[in-house]
Chains A and B, each alone.
Chain A
Amino acid sequence: MPKITYISHAGERAVVEVPVGWSVMEGAIQNDVAGIVAECGGGCACATCHVFVDPLWTDKVGERSAMEQDMLECTATDSTEVSRLSCQIKVTEDLDGLIVELPESQT
């Protein structure tokens, strides 16, 4: 199963195994990784699952959709060019080793 590393704003690392087909957000929620809120449960509706993708991984996680792009303008912590909504990143074997950093605040 692909391993994903979530690094909190305070620098704590959580490494969890996430099934292929799940989202990076679900991987965090189902392993009780703090720092991802995901109020809407993955609907790309709330912008509370914001993550910063490690620059080495930005190509592999793929492109943002127009909708996601729009939502990223509204995150509680300002987004950057490596920002994604983690509910919109689907886990594949290729993402084994993915590292994402979590913002200071989601709401």
Chain B
Amino acid sequence: MAEPPIIVVGAGQAGLQIVDSLRRGGYSGRLMLIGDEKSLPYQRPPLSKQYMSENMSDDRLLFRPADYYEKKGVELILGEQVSAIDTQARTVVIDGQTCEYAKLAITTGASVRHIPVPGAELEGVCYLRSVEDAQYIRTQLSSGPQRVAAIGGGFIGLEIAASARELGHSVTVIEAQDRLMARVVAPLVSEYFGDLHRSHGVEVLLDAAVSGIERADDDSLIVDLTDGRRISADLIVVGIGSIPHSALAEAAGLTCNNGIVVDEFAQTSDPNVVAAGDCTMHKNARLNVSHRLESVQNAVDQAKIAAATLLGEPKPYEQVPWFWSDQFDAKLQMVGSSVGFDRTVLRGSIADGEFSVFYFNDGVLIGVDSVNRPSDHVTSRKLIANRTAVSDDVLTDIEQNLKTLL
């Protein structure tokens, strides 16, 4: 009988990275990668950006060419769900079949949060997570001028808004809070992006809570707001966050708390199971916090940690988190976290659309949001990781390269 494989459940960014890192790290045993989508493993970030606005072809989304998996000896199972995990027997059930594993990696990601209002199920109300979702939106947007309503002024809503606007559609962003991207950036940055969208002709509604969605007499849709306003739309894209796919792990008895709980080695509460990516509530050794992150950086870096653990060469997860978002001609790059800041320093010019906001807590640099200043961003990753002392004089003088601080 064949030796039991390492099984990776979830074929997104983290799952692919674990497989890749295991093979690069010298693991030559059986390796199985299971994804519930039919497509070969693909990248999600372009779905709300170039895929939408530049009509990018599907094959350009793939992480690896089709023959990669065979070449690397990866048993790829697509379009199948894992329905149960038994950590005692060390088995998973795939499409009704029980498979034994030597080690298990869970990289099941997250799914979109659905909007709990009447009418949410109407045709024309959609979400964006998968390439199929993106295809649907793209088809709608190519069928003639549309009125697009984006519910949620976070990354997804704003990136879709920008893409749709660039294609000439009329766009309204509906945000329940009093500013855009409130969960991730500081007020100054929210304000900049609100102005940016308005200057491109996007209508941005703040403090706008949705009470329901209706079908209008002319077959279009109407978004009802709690304050009585009614927004007409042909297409509604809802982007109001995501929830971790941890039900499978929870049912298997693994400790979960807003995600699968893992330590700084990507180890779950079971010694034979690791987890990585959007689905984990994880510990960051450097920042000394536990949090759940939805990002490419976290998926990639945490997957490398998980692979190292599986290879028996554990090393702690201590990467400083970073994110990015493209909206119109603005590249927003974020590193660290502004949560808990007591002071900010501005570098560059908001009016010119090239600036960075540095966030401090008790004199320590904890986060930086940059708009069209990528070198500030990349240098700040190191400044935050090393807890480098930075003076306001250097930060506020754009003639001085931050690299000199390293």
How many angstroms from the CA of A71 to the CA of B374 in the assembled complex? 6
Across the interface, B49 reaches (CB within 8 A) one of A26, A31, A43, A71, namely A43
A93 on the B face (CB < 8 A): no
B116 to chain A, nearest CB (A): 32
A1-9, A34-42, A56-64 - interface stretch: A34-42
The size bracket of the interface on B is 20 to 34
Across the interface, A71 reaches (CB within 8 A) one of B63, B375, B401, namely B375
A40 pairs with B324, CB closer than 8 A:
yes
Across the interface, B296 reaches (CB within 8 A) one of A26, A41, A44, namely A41
B331 on the A face (CB < 8 A): yes
B43 pairs with A32, CB closer than 8 A:
no
Interface size on A, residues (CB 8 A): 19
Cβ–Cβ < 8 Å partners of A32 in chain B: 64-65, 68, 71
How many angstroms from the CA of A39 to the CA of B16 in the assembled complex? 12
How many angstroms from the CA of A44 to the CA of B68 in the assembled complex? 25
B62 on the A face (CB < 8 A): yes
Proximity string of chain B (59-90) to chain A, C-beta cutoff 8 Å, 1 when within and 0 when not: 11011110010010000000000000000000
How many angstroms from the CA of A43 to the CA of B296 in the assembled complex? 12
B309 on the A face (CB < 8 A): no
Q: Which residue of B lies closest to A22 (CB)?
A: B60
Of A26, A45, A67, most buried by chain B (CB within 10 Å of CB) is: A45
A44 pairs with B45, CB closer than 8 A:
no
B375 pairs with A44, CB closer than 8 A:
no
Across the interface, B50 reaches (CB within 8 A) one of A29, A31, A42, namely A42
Proximity string of chain B (197-211) to chain A, C-beta cutoff 8 Å, 1 when within and 0 when not: 000000000000000
Cβ–Cβ < 8 Å partners of A67 in chain B: 331, 372, 374
B379 on the A face (CB < 8 A): yes
Q: Which residue of B lies closest to A26 (CB)?
A: B60
Given A32-B71, A41-B46, A41-B296, the answer on whether A70 and B63 have CB atoms closer than 8 Å is no
Given A30-B59, A30-B65, the answer on whether A70 and B374 have CB atoms closer than 8 Å is yes
Count contacts between A and B, CB distance < 8 Å.
57
Proximity string of chain B (19-56) to chain A, C-beta cutoff 8 Å, 1 when within and 0 when not: 00000000000000000000000010110011000000
Which chain B residues in 226-258 approach chain A with CB under 8 Å?
none
Given A22-B60, A30-B62, A32-B64, the answer on whether A44 and B50 have CB atoms closer than 8 Å is no
How many angstroms from the CA of A29 to the CA of B40 in the assembled complex? 14
B326 on the A face (CB < 8 A): yes
A66 to chain B, nearest CB (A): 8
Cβ–Cβ < 8 Å partners of B49 in chain A: 43
A74 pairs with B65, CB closer than 8 A:
no
How many angstroms from the CA of A45 to the CA of B378 in the assembled complex? 9
Cβ–Cβ < 8 Å partners of B296 in chain A: 39-41
Cβ–Cβ < 8 Å partners of B71 in chain A: 32
Q: Which residue of A lies closest to B60 (CB)?
A: A26
B54 to chain A, nearest CB (A): 10
Known: A42-B50, A71-B378. 15 other contacts (CB 8 A): A22-B60, A29-B63, A30-B60, A30-B65, A32-B68, A32-B71, A40-B324, A41-B45, A41-B46, A43-B326, A44-B331, A67-B331, A70-B373, A73-B375, A73-B401
11 contacts between A and B (CB under 8 A): A29-B64, A30-B59, A30-B60, A39-B296, A41-B46, A43-B45, A43-B326, A70-B374, A71-B375, A73-B375, A73-B401
Interface residues of A (CB under 8 A from B): 22, 26, 29-32, 39-45, 47, 67, 70-71, 73-74
What 6 A-B pairs have minimum CB-CB distances, sorted nearest first? A74-B378, A70-B375, A45-B324, A41-B43, A70-B374, A71-B374
Interface residues of B (CB under 8 A from A): 43, 45-46, 49-50, 59-60, 62-65, 68, 71, 296-297, 300, 324, 326, 331, 333, 372-375, 378-379, 401, 403
